[in-house]
Structure 1
Amino acid sequence: MERNGREACPPELAAQLREVDRLRRSGRYASALTLARTLAEANPRQARVLLEVAQTLAIWGGVPAEALEWYERVLSLAPGHLTSRLYRALALCRLGRNEEAVVDFDALVASGYRKALVLHMKRAEALEALGRDEAAERDWTLAIDEAPGNPWLLQQRAAARARLGRLDDAVTDLTLALSVQTGGEVDPELLHARGALRARLGDLAGAHADFEAGLAAFRVGDPPALLDALREGTMRKP
């Protein structure tokens, strides 16, 4: 019996695939890959098995170039296998093949794939790598719609808006991102980014205040370069 080009996975094979996953999660990558390849050779039309080989290579092995062949094999059997299309897109991004990745992301968005947040985040990153900032800004906005108030997403949209010359909008995004952070959770990187934008807008007092606040919020483990940038910012008197 087939479903959308995929043969049903018998219980005994499903049990072997769970063993592949157990081996991966216990750090036995080579053993997991060997077993997955063996299962794929014995079951070349089992899309689920082929996908597990691809995932083992891409995620646990860190070799997306090798994984691509296996994603392609899954999609040749089941063109509608959206999870494989998503992971192929992610592998293409890691290889710098962003134009191809965007094509996959576009198809996934058009299909209504359930992981909308991931799609918009990753497509935005690919679009930025291609220098398509207006399209990237739209995707960051769609991602924020999925996770309202997320500071990291707001920071990414602020950066895109700044590159587009929309400095006031970028400051608004960073202010909203900072508004949900308190005490030791305040991110000095956000304060530095807002301070730099305020300086560009001529709000030197606001910029100086942000750099000072960033120094006060600096934490062990934050990048030393950020500390230097904050100190340099405080040296510029309003």
Structure 2
Amino acid sequence: MVRDPLGEDRGAGWSGSSGSSLRAGRLLDSPPVNAVTHAVFGAGALAGASLVLGVEPALYAYPVAGVAALVPDLDNPRSKLGNGLSPMRSPLLNALTRPLSWALRAVSFGLFKTVGHRTLTHSLLGLAAFAALAWLLWRAVPGPGYGLFVALVAGYASHLAADSLNTPGVPLLWPVGGTARLWPGGIRSGGVAELVVAVIAVAVAGYLAYLVHPVLQDQVDGVLSAALYRESLTPPL
């Protein structure tokens, strides 16, 4: 079995050469770091898209982008969203979130049984369908609608970019076929390679957030200036 460093574990019998090919083998729970890496990619994609569009995203947009970055793996019943929401400690919150949890499980099961893992939701067609739903949500929410739209689409797209770094790649042209990889041969999960990807993702996301938020720039520059000033007052040894 080959583990996907930025998504879910993949059975050795899975074939991505055809849109109708269903992935074989047993799905295993993905390590928490995989979901965190996807969320970081989502936050970085939001900051990058906002920088290109010339807008400053609201703080709430970052967790929205992080959750949207997990949506493509909804086609896997063992994924973070496909397995439903975790039970809440509060009985009231638990009761309120159960319907959503059941809905996520139902959609995940349906996707897995009809198209399989890493097919529709990991393609440009799936991205377009999700963007259309996000656009409808944008039109329905007049206030923060545009920021919500950018966060959702950027987060979803970041998942495809992240998964294209690993060995299996992503079927961007599904159902036509073919596999896309940003790294020749892909990067296998585990060890130094996976750690390097996660660290780079955090660094890039932080730098992009610094560029897109003037308030953050002022705070960081102020901290650095204070540190340099204190250093200048330190007498030489």
Q: TM-score when scaled to structure 2? A: 0.20
Rg larger for: 1
Q: Relative contact order (C-alpha < 8 Å, sep 6+): which is higher?
A: 2
Instruction: Name the one with the larger helix percent.
Output: 1
